[in-house]
Amino acid sequence: MTFERRVTKQIHVGKVPVGGLSPISVQSMTITKTADVEGTLQQIYALAAAGCDIVRCTCNEAEAAEGLAQIVPRSPVPIIADIHHQYKMALAALEAGVHGLRLNPGNIRRPEHIKAVASEARDRKVPIRIGVNGGSLDPALYEKHGGLTAEAMVESALQEIAYFQEVDFDLIKISVKASNVPLMVEAYRQLSEVTDYPLHLGVTEAGPLPGGLLKATAGIGALLLEGIGDTIRYSLTADPVEEARAGRQLLEALGLRERKNVDLIACPSCGRAEIDVIEVANRAQLAFADKKIPLQIAVMGCVVNGPGEAREADLGIAAGNKRGHLFVKGRNVAVVPESEMVEALVDWATYINEHGVDAAIARVDTALAEREATKDRNALLQEKGDDANHANEKIVEIRKTISGN
C-alpha cells in the first residue's frame, strides 16, 4: 500500500467493525419490500454470498418494521434500517433489533425527534449513520451556502453530530454523498479534516451500468487512495448484487481486502492474437463467477508476449497454433486444444487452490511444455514478422529528419 490510511474511531455494526484500522466493509441495500420477509432474506443471502458485509433495508412503514423483527435474527449479516421522514420508524426499527440506523438530516429536522432517536440508540448501543445527501439538503443550508456545496454538506453533518452530543451519543458514522463526483470527493475531504468519526463512502444515484460503475469507482477509489473511507456502497441502478460485487472487487484491486475470488486479467488483443480474446475471456469469467478461488488468472491472445506480460499471474493461458499454452507463474506447464482452454484453466486453478503452485508445477514435464511454446512462438513470429512496423527503416528516416539531411 502506497498511501497511509486515515485512522478513525471504531464502532461496530453488529459484529462488523467499522473504522479504526479494521477492514473496509462493503454495503448494499435490498430493493424488496421489507414486509416481504422471505423475499428480503433471499436477497440478503445473495448479497452476503457476493461479498456484502452489511445490508440496509428500508423501514418506511409499520409493516416494514414488523418485517425487520423477523429478518434480523435470520440474516447472515448485520442489518441497518434506512429511515427518511418519520422518526418513529427509527424507534420501531430499534425495537425490531436492527444493528444500525441511517438517518437523513435533510428529512428529519426537528431537534427533539433527532435526540429522541439518538437517546434510544445510545441505550441500545446501536450506531447511527448520518446520511447527508446532496439531493435532500436542508433548505436553510442550501440558501446559506448559495446552493449545493461541499461546505453545506459538511455543515449538515456537523449539525447532526451536535444534536447527538447533547444526549451523549457517539456511535456515529457519516456520509456526504452527491451524484456529482468532484463535489462528493471534496465534501469527504473537508469532512475528514474536521471529524474522526468513520466515513461511509458513496456516489449517490450513480446510475445504471456501465456509467454508474465508472462514476462510483472514480469517487470512491479516489478517496480510498487518499486513505479516506471506512465502509463503502456502490449506488447503482442495477441488481444490488452487482453493487456488492463491485465494492468487493474495488477493495481487492486496491489491496484493501484479501482476495476471495478470481482476478481475471486479459490482453486487449492485437494483430498477433490467435483467438477471439474477448470471447474466451468472457467464457472464463462465467466459468469462475461462482468459484471462491483467490487467484489471478490471465487470458492472453498469443504466445509471443503473453506469458511474459502475465508472468506475475498465478495461472494463465496463451493461444498459439490452434492450441493453448498453460503457464503457472510465467512457466509453461501444459499444452491443451484450443477448444479446451477455459476448462483447463478451471481444472488447474482448482488444483492450485487446493495444493499450491509448487505441487501443480511438479506434476508435469515443464521442459516439454516450454519446447512446444517456443515452437508456436517462432511460428507466429515468422508469420507476423519480427518487425511488422519496419522499425529499422523508420529509424533511419527519423534520424535523417532530425539531422536535416
CATH architecture label of 11-253: Alpha-Beta Barrel (3.20)
CATH architecture label of 263-384: 2-Layer Sandwich (3.30)
CB–CB of 226/190 below 8 Å?
Answer: no
Phi, psi of 13 (to 5 degrees): -105, 100
CA-to-CA distance for 160 and 158, rounded, in angstroms?
5
CA-to-CA distance for 51 and 95, rounded, in angstroms?
28
Residue ranges covered by each domain of the chain:
11-253, 263-384
Those residues whose C-beta lies under 8 Å from the C-beta of residue 153, and which sit 6 or more positions away, are: 132, 134, 137, 176, 178, 187, 191
CA-to-CA distance for 307 and 312, rounded, in angstroms?
9
Those residues whose C-beta lies under 8 Å from the C-beta of residue 205, and which sit 6 or more positions away, are: 135, 179, 235
CB–CB of 361/333 below 8 Å?
Answer: yes
Over residues 62-120, the pLDDT tens digits come to 999 999 999 999 999 999 999 988 999 999 999 999 999 999 998 888 999 999 999 99
pLDDT in tens, the chain (405 residues): 457 899 999 999 999 999 999 999 999 999 999 999 999 999 999 999 999 999 999 999 999 999 999 999 999 999 999 998 899 999 999 999 999 999 999 888 899 999 999 999 999 999 999 999 988 888 999 999 999 999 999 999 999 999 999 999 999 999 999 999 999 999 999 999 999 999 999 999 999 999 999 999 999 999 999 999 999 999 999 999 999 999 999 999 999 999 888 999 888 877 767 778 888 899 999 999 888 899 999 998 877 666 677 778 899 988 876 788 888 998 888 888 888 999 999 999 999 999 999 999 998 887 776 776 676 667 666 665 555 455 667 777 787 788 776
The structure's pTM equals: 0.86
Those residues whose C-beta lies under 8 Å from the C-beta of residue 213, and which sit 6 or more positions away, are: 206, 234, 236, 246
